[in-house]
Structure 1
């Protein structure tokens, strides 16, 4: 199972991928806000989104699993 994790702690500002979506390496899948900066989270691998583990407004810590790919 492939996972996309948070690169730093922050609040989920926007989610660009949903379950069933095909994502490609380098594609922006989520936006975090940390210290008033927007931090894009890009997919490092290709796959199909199996599950999105967060919602807009959720606080995440570095290393938390944001999206699971099949």
Structure 2
């Protein structure tokens, strides 16, 4: 093929390929962002209770055994 002074475009990826790559990268980063927000704590004392709100006078959601790991989704209060 003879180039007659024009510019030849040679792309490695098509536009659809680039969109697909960007979507895949975004989906791979999404779970990492979610796990970065939650804190994991280990229960170090016996007879620990979980509460829905920071009101310890309310009803407990249940007890957690010593050594168990829990995820803290939201932190409120002091």
Over alpha carbons, which structure has the higher Rg?
2
TM-score scaled by length of structure 2: 0.27
Bigger share in helix: 2
TM-score normalised according to structure 1 size? 0.29
* Bigger relative contact order (CA 8 A; separation at least 6): 1
